[in-house]
Structure 1
Amino acid sequence: MGVSRRQVLTGLAALGVLGIGAGGARYWLGRPRHVTTHDYELIAAPLDVELVPGFTTTAWAYGGQVPGVELRCRQGERLRVRFMNRLPEPTTIHWHGLRIPLEMDGVPYLSQLPVLPGEHFDYDFLCPDAGTFWYHPHTASGEQLGRGLVGPVIVEEREPSGFRHERTLSIKHWHVDPQGAFTAFSVPREAARGGTPGILSTVNGSHNPTLELPAGQVVRLRLLNLDNTHNYRLALPGAEVRIYALDGNPIPPRPLGKDYWLGPGMRIDLAIRVPSAGTELPVRNGPLRLATLKSVASSEAPGDWPPALPANPIAEPDLARAETLRFNFEWAGALSTNAEQGGPFTFWQINGQAWNISDNSCMERPIATLKRNGHYIFELRNVSQYQHPVHLHGMTFKVLSSDRKRIEPYFTDTYLLGKNETARVALVADNPGTWMFHCHVIDHMETGLMAAIEVV
């Protein structure tokens, strides 16, 4: 690398992460008076919410709500967020799926120093791609995401998309007991399997809500899996639904079909033709109802299906000259010895290497080094009986094929790798830096299933 991690951090320290006073509103998001420095101010702070009826849960919130307030900008614009930490511990923000410079990626001790309680940090980057994305910490991820620090980012298309109506559905399970108290975010025996499941499902912070949609209209539904662990088998039985985008990237519109598996960190943009007023349609996770869509009378003329969304400006990998790299996602429970010395459990590894979340020097030992603007095929092999939503920071890859299912190639930042599945994905390594490459089941990530990939 041209510069070391230590040099980067020294430079960051020289720039200064400024503290701010305790005065003013506790929660606030809005356009500030002085827009020369930033467009939004976003506070992370404790917030009492009623997840379980009649009981209070002290969650951690962005902008005074859980999941966090929706941030919006337009494709090609800068998103400038002054992030203020009012939590009792350090944190950062990672902008999941957005192709941005390394110094804005929110990985502590790699791209920035942790934002300490009472401090703020200015995130400032261009948004090259339109689509549905999200934001969350990359510090103490199991607990911080588990307490509610997740939120959607919507980057609107440069030109009108053709959709007159849209709704965002942020889906999340919570680790709470029947009285609303938080339970363990990670249980070792579960982390060594599919991950520690939450108990209470919510959409936009409410259990099984009813969401009203205008009858006769075609509505864009942006669904995000903001969960620590759960893979959702999404279904809208009885509805006329088409898929328009996967993980922020447009595809040729096609029917949803029976269901679609949405792993942690993944997103899907659907278009639904809303039936006549008074009709109710379920949004399901397999047999379980997540929410109800209720059509209400509309004075607008009936809408029609919009055209396909415009493609994002992502470089097309040249498969004929691409170098192939292989990554095995493996169970390594026999290696879980770190905990005996007070370190984290180690249940998972990539290519025989288990990430130690307590050792920041892991970032200095990348599992692969890519040449800038080089073309690569990653062969992802799951050597386990559990699903892994594989996420790459900083870049977008194209899913080519799978030995378990038929694939219509598409671009994404997160691929749900099924049990014993081998998939091939391709990319152009056009974003320099050292990028995290990990499973987005947070239990798996924090017990070894993460690596660093360097682009030089």
Structure 2
Amino acid sequence: MSFTRRQILAGLAGVAVVGLGAGGARYWLGRPADSAGHDYELIAAPMQVELVPGHATEVWAYGGQAPGLELRARQGDWLRVRFINHLPQPTTIHWHGIRLPLEMDGVPYLSQLPVLPGEYFDYRFRVEDAGTFWYHPHTSSAEQLGRGLVGPLIIEEREGSGFRHERTLNLKHWHLDREGAFSDFSVPREAARGGTPGVLSSLNGVHAPTLELPAGQVVRLRILNLDNTLTYRLNLPDAEVRIYALDGHPIQPRPLGKEYWLGPGMRIDVGLRVPEAGRELALRNGPLRLGTLRSVVAGEAPGDWPAALPANPVAEPDLARAQKLRFNFEWAGALSADTGEGAVPTFWQINGQAWDINDKTCVERPIATLHKNGHYIFELRNVSQYQHPIHLHGLVFKVLSSNRKRIEPYFTDTYLLGRNETAQVALVADNPGVWMFHCHVIDHMETGLMAAIEVV
């Protein structure tokens, strides 16, 4: 369901909040220049839901929803979110795929200190790119994302998209037992392989739902993979489907084909021509049904395929003068020497360096330093048998080529690097800061597969 901007969350707006006065300011590394107002008041809090029939599960919700409240803004506008933490843990919000100032990026001990229980933080940034994005914490990520702290962020095109109808489809698997209790979000033997999988699929928080779409119309489906670990092999058999955008950035429309591999953190916008009333289509992950799309009488003239979406204002890298850097994503093959309470095993590394999520000084040792407005080609080498959706904060890169498949170049913030694949991507380092660079299989990230890249 879409919500208008400036909406105060029904039923939650009256919850008491401890403000950040003089004493509370120690929890901030910076404040927005103007915090006089905000577009959304977004509360993170526990909530009871029924994911397994007949059993209650206490999820952690944004705005009384899990997945969270859909936030919307228009391209070029400022988005102002007052985030209020009513969880039992500190947390932050990272705005996945959004190019923004470092102080708004939501990385603890880098862009801000964690928002403590009972406190709030005002996020404020201009959204330059239209598309489908999302938001989530960057603290205790396996648990907090696993418990439901994920939500869509939709940036509408400045001049419109040409679609008369659209739906947002949030995909997420839950780590639950048969009675609805949470199981382990990360198991070491799984983190050392493909990642710890959830077992219960959901579409917009419901297992295998049926959604109604208007017959004869071309509907924009914004599909988001909000899963901790799972790569979806998306397919819509017997349907007319065209891809319009990948990870928020437009492409020249093309058929979906047999299936599309959507890794954790990735998004795809497709146009679906809805068949005649009464027909049903299955949205699938490989052979497994995620949900049913049912055609219903629309009462309006049939729609036509919209033109390509307008390109986002992303700087084009100059390949002729770009500096080349290589990044190897590989298995570390060792456990952390510290086996005490709270120790995290190390299974993964980038260029021989494993990130320690308990070491707050890791951000002070970037794996690469880029010059502002410099042009770069990254060679991404997966020296392992498992897939890694590689995500870069604060910047957008252009996928150029792969040794495993044919690439039609496109801009993105997350690339699914296949087993033993080498891919070339390029970017203009036009956003200064220290930006996280990591695999979005969450327990890969938390067991070493993360680094920092500095732009100065």
Aligning the two structures, in what range does the TM-score lie when normalised by the shorter sequence? over 0.9
Distance in 2 of aligned mates of 1:241 and 1:342: 47
* Residue-by-residue CA offset, 1:307-366 (whole Å, 9 max, x unaligned): 000000000000000000000000012254343685210000000000000001000000
Offset of 1:13 from its aligned partner?
A: 8.9
Partner of 2:451: 451
Partner of 2:157: 157
Would you say the 8 A contact 1:379–1:422 is kept in 2? yes
Distance in 2 of aligned mates of 1:351 and 1:85: 36
TM-score (norm 1): 0.93
Q: What is the total number of aligned residue pairs between the two structures?
A: 430
Partner of 2:249: 249
Distance in 2 of aligned mates of 1:230 and 1:83: 28
Offset of 1:36 from its aligned partner?
A: 3.8
Matched letter for residue 74 of structure 2: R
Tell me, yes or no, if structure 1 residue 311 matches structure 2 residue 306: no
User: SS at the partner of 2:430?
Assistant: coil
Would you say the 8 A contact 1:242–1:271 is kept in 2? yes
Distance in 1 of aligned mates of 2:316 and 2:338: 42
Partner of 1:118: 118
Partner of 2:9: none
1:293 to 1:341, Cα distance in 2 relative to 1, 3 A: closer
Partner of 2:344: 344
Distance in 1 of aligned mates of 2:415 and 2:101: 22
Tell me, yes or no, if structure 1 residue 224 matches structure 2 residue 212: no
Partner of 1:168: 168
Partner of 1:187: 187
TM-score (norm 2): 0.93
Distance in 2 of aligned mates of 1:370 and 1:404: 28
Partner of 2:97: 97
Would you say the 8 A contact 2:145–2:228 is kept in 1? yes
* Residue-by-residue CA offset, 1:114-158 (whole Å, 9 max, x unaligned): 000000000000000000000000000000000000000000000
Matched letter for residue 229 of structure 2: T
Partner of 1:238: 238
1:162 to 1:178, Cα distance in 2 relative to 1, 3 A: same
Would you say the 8 A contact 1:190–1:196 is kept in 2? yes
Partner of 1:57: 57
Distance in 1 of aligned mates of 2:273 and 2:262: 21
Matched letter for residue 387 of structure 2: Q
Distance in 2 of aligned mates of 1:143 and 1:300: 45
Distance in 2 of aligned mates of 1:17 and 1:444: 29
* Residue-by-residue CA offset, 1:384-424 (whole Å, 9 max, x unaligned): 00000000000000000000000000000000000000000
Partner of 1:353: 353
Would you say the 8 A contact 2:332–2:347 is kept in 1? yes
Matched letter for residue 370 of structure 2: L
User: SS at the partner of 1:334?
Assistant: coil
Distance in 2 of aligned mates of 1:447 and 1:227: 17
Matched letter for residue 356 of structure 1: D
Offset of 1:188 from its aligned partner?
A: 0.3
Matched letter for residue 220 of structure 1: R
Matched letter for residue 61 of structure 1: A
User: SS at the partner of 1:212?
Assistant: strand
Distance in 1 of aligned mates of 2:403 and 2:340: 39
Partner of 1:143: 143
Distance in 2 of aligned mates of 1:242 and 1:378: 29
Tell me, yes or no, if structure 1 residue 46 matches structure 2 residue 46: yes
User: SS at the partner of 1:360?
Assistant: coil
Would you say the 8 A contact 1:346–1:448 is kept in 2? yes
Offset of 1:38 from its aligned partner?
A: 1.1
Partner of 2:196: 196
Distance in 1 of aligned mates of 2:23 and 2:325: 36
Partner of 2:80: 80
Distance in 1 of aligned mates of 2:129 and 2:62: 23
Distance in 1 of aligned mates of 2:180 and 2:252: 43
User: SS at the partner of 1:103?
Assistant: helix
Partner of 2:212: 212
Would you say the 8 A contact 1:338–1:346 is kept in 2? no
RMSD between aligned residues: 1.5
Distance in 2 of aligned mates of 1:341 and 1:294: 50
User: SS at the partner of 2:389?
Assistant: strand
Matched letter for residue 280 of structure 2: E
Partner of 1:390: 390
